[in-house]
């Protein structure tokens, strides 16, 4: 393919290649994840030295697009560059986890690129401004589960599809459970009202600030699914527990 112009991308990973070059992973609005060869990126005199860095959002052109292999970077400009100087320790830990997660998504790119790109961009923005840390991270992990085919039923009972008298979240069955379907209260049922309300909002843009212990409970639940259902283990998860 010839030159492809005006792509929107977020840099999610860099791997050294030869003496001066890198192979970068971009999450793009147009094609999902792509691998891009960036010549000369490691030279401080290179224009891409400050541009191609983790979490930077860029507009760029490729001299070659190869969706199943390696594309070739041509040029780009930054639209958002992160400033880490005033970031809290917790915000840094959340960003670290997000970066690790973005690198481990085993998605085959068959998802709504535009929507996931917006979610990712929004999450980076929230985390790097120290806003809604766990809520933003939880909503992001929820989307990651979703694009990998793990659906949580959070708008009705997972068993009878009734959307009233929800009394718990059944961890083993990936969804809410109503009072008619709840037969025994086992360890796999979460019944804390605040936690349920927070789970209910995972797929919405609404932030609730339900308190860090509630958000951490939800985080642990989502983290559990990443491990159990997708086999994704995140080293940086330990900093957030």
Interface positions with Zn ion (CB under 5 A): 157, 159-160, 162, 178, 181
Place of tokens 């983790």: 54
CB of 172 vs Zn ion, minimal distance in Å = 15
Residue 153 or residue 230: which is nearer to Zn ion going by CB? 153
Q: Is 87 or 153 the residue whose CB approaches Zn ion more closely?
A: 153
Residues paired with 9 in a beta bridge = 28, 58
Q: How far is the CB of 90 from Zn ion (least distance, A)?
A: 37
Tokens representing 64?
A: 């070659």
The residue among 184 and 205 lying less far from Zn ion, judged by its C-beta, is 184
Give CA–CA dist 7/39, Å, rounded. Answer: 18
Q: Angle 149-123-215 (CA atoms, 0-180°, nearest 5)?
A: 80
Query: Least distance to Zn ion from the beta carbon of 176, Å?
Result: 8
Q: For Zn ion, which is the closer residue by CB, 178 or 214?
A: 178
DSSP output for 82-146? ---TT--HHHHHHHHHHHHHHHH----S-S-HHHHHHHHHHHHHHHHTT-SHHHHHHHHHHHHHH
For the CB of residue 177, give the shortest distance to Zn ion in the complex, in Å.
6
CB atoms within 10 A of CB 214: 21
Choice between 129 and 162, CB closer to Zn ion: 162
What span, in angstroms and rounded, lies between the C-alpha atoms of 122 and 131?
11
| Phi–psi pair at 89, nearest 5 degrees | -60, -40
Least Å distance, CB 192 to Zn ion, is 19
Please state the closest distance from residue 210 (CB atom) to Zn ion, in A.
Answer: 24
Query: Of 125 and 156, which CB lies nearer to Zn ion in the complex structure?
Result: 156
């Amino acid at each position: 393919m010839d030159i492809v112009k005006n792509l929107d991308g977020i840099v999610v990973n860099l791997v050294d290649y030869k003496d001066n070059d890198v192979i970068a992973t971009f999450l793009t609005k147009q094609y999902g994840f792509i691998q891009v060869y960036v010549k000369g990126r490691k030279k401080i005199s290179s224009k891409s030295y400050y541009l191609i860095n983790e979490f930077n959002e860029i507009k760029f052109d490729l001299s070659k697009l190869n969706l199943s292999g390696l594309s070739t970077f041509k040029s780009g400009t930054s639209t958002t560059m992160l400033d880490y100087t005033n970031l809290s320790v917790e915000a840094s830990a959340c960003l670290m986890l997000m970066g690790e997660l973005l690198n481990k998504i085993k998605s085959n790119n068959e998802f709504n690129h535009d929507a996931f790109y917006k979610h990712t961009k929004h999450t980076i923005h929230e985390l790097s401004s120290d806003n809604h840390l766990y809520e933003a991270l939880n909503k992001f992990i929820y989307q990651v589960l979703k694009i990998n085919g793990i659906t949580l039923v959070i708008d009705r009972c997972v068993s009878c599809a009734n959307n009233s008298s929800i009394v718990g979240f059944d961890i083993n069955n990936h969804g809410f459970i109503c009072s008619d379907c709840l037969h025994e209260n086992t360890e796999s049922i979460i019944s804390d009202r605040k936690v349920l309300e927070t789970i209910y909002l995972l797929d919405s843009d609404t932030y609730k600030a339900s308190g860090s212990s509630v958000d951490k409970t939800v985080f642990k639940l989502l983290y559990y699914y990443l491990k159990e259902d997708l086999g994704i283990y995140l080293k940086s998860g330990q900093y957030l527990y």
